[in-house]
């Protein structure tokens, strides 16, 4: 037939080209043989068909994600955000655990070096105790009975201030007898999370300062008090309110001191320092000012050494000479100084 003749001609042409070039090799593919018992002209079942000829579903693509059933009342975007948040929290916990393990390994290595005498004495402590340190008999207590007025974030700030207060007292030339009262609830839970907090050398009380100290000895430091603290006495107990309220509860500690019949006072900041803006000092700043005063017996130097520059210290207040009369603007200046003085002693943190 014509098809057979065409096939023979193609084979002969390929064979001739092989003989001429010597490199071209032609391979003839064997036609597929039907299986035994198959009828000529019948269709061979494909992967998508069964033996009975019916169509079957193809398996899922390995990269195709399974369909997720959304919780009732939740959109797809809300579900994605929820899953991202869960993933972020899982990773955060893993990171915290990893860092904790790294700190433990670091401490173990340091202990081994200390035992081997491979570390210098200056590296044994982050903050060395002063060789000329002479503990004082002044007592200071941080009142932590303000959990209900603060968020978890603010409580975290207060406990950080307590930690800084402990460090400042430890490094001071004349450290005070430091106490923390009403330490319970969320404040206690937060302080328990800090590494090494169990070894902090200060007195802790779950009860109020009223149950720890004699009422006659208590002096509550509050910026709203009209009384100015001129000196620190070993016979008194000075209470610093551990409250971060961003001025939402202004005057609270002063009100509590009045209701409980306690003595109260404020630090004499307006007599020595001018502040350009209203600002409230933290717990540790109030304590550090007192510690500096015990060392220098100078309020001005203590304020200038401790108060952060970001509070806007404009300068020092000039002392008036004996017999010098006040100018006509003194009343306005006094009002401004009173506003600045309200920023001290309440132990509330500034905004942010």
| Residues designated catalytic | 245
Whether the CB-CB separation of 142 and 103 falls below 8 Å is answered with no
- At 313, which helix (H) or strand (E)? strand 313-316
**First-residue to last-residue Cα distance in the chain:** 97
Q: Is the sign of the CA dihedral 281, 133, 219, 299 positive or negative?
A: negative
Spatial separation of the C-alpha atoms in residues 26 and 109, rounded to whole Å: 74
Residues 178, 141: Cα–Cα separation, whole Å: 6
74 backbone dihedrals φ, ψ, rounded to 5°: -115, 130
Give the SS3 label for residue 241.
strand
Q: Considering Cα of 178, then 139, then 142, then 183, what sign does the dihedral take?
A: positive
Contacts by 187-193 with C-beta closer than 8 Å and gap 24+? Answer: 187/144, 187/147, 187/155, 187/158, 187/159, 187/242, 190/155, 190/156, 190/159, 191/159, 191/162
CB 180 within 8 A of CB 208: no
The CA angle 73-76-80, to the nearest 5 degrees, is 115
Task: Yes or no: say if 220 and 257 are a contact pair by the CB < 8 Å rule.
Answer: yes
């Amino acid at each position: 037939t014509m098809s057979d003749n065409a096939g023979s001609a193609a084979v002969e042409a390929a064979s001739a080209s092989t003989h001429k070039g010597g490199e071209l090799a032609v391979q003839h593919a064997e036609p597929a043989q039907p299986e035994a018992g198959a009828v000529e002209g019948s269709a061979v079942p494909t992967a998508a068909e069964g033996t009975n000829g019916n169509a079957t579903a193809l398996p899922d693509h390995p990269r195709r994600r399974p369909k997720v059933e959304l919780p009732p009342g939740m959109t797809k975007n809300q579900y994605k955000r929820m899953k991202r948040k869960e993933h972020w929290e899982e990773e955060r916990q893993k990171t915290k655990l990893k860092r904790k393990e790294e700190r433990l390994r670091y401490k173990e290595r340091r202990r081994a070096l200390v035992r081997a005498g491979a570390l210098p004495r200056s590296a044994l402590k982050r903050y060395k105790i002063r060789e000329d340190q002479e503990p004082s008999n002044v007592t200071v207590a941080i009142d932590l009975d303000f959990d209900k007025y603060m968020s978890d974030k603010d409580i975290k700030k207060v406990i950080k201030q307590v930690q800084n207060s402990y460090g400042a007292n430890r490094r001071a030339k004349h450290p005070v007898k430091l106490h923390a009262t009403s330490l319970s609830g969320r404040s206690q839970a937060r302080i328990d999370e800090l590494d090494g907090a169990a070894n902090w050398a200060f007195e802790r009380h779950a009860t109020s300062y009223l149950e720890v100290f004699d009422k006659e000895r208590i002096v509550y430091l509050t910026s709203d008090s009209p009384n100015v603290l001129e000196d620190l006495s070993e016979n008194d107990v000075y209470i610093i309110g551990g409250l971060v309220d961003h001025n939402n509860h202004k005057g609270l500690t002063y009100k509590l001191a009045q209701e409980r019949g306690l003595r109260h006072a404020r630090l004499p900041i307006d007599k020595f320092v001018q502040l350009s803006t209203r600002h409230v000092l933290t717990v540790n700043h109030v304590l550090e000012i007192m510690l500096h005063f015990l060392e220098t017996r100078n309020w001005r130097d203590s304020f200038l050494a401790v108060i952060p520059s970001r509070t806007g210290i404009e300068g020092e207040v000039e002392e008036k000479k004996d017999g010098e009369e006040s100018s006509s603007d003194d009343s306005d200046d006094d009002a401004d100084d009173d506003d600045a003085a309200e920023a001290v002693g309440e132990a509330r943190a500034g905004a942010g």
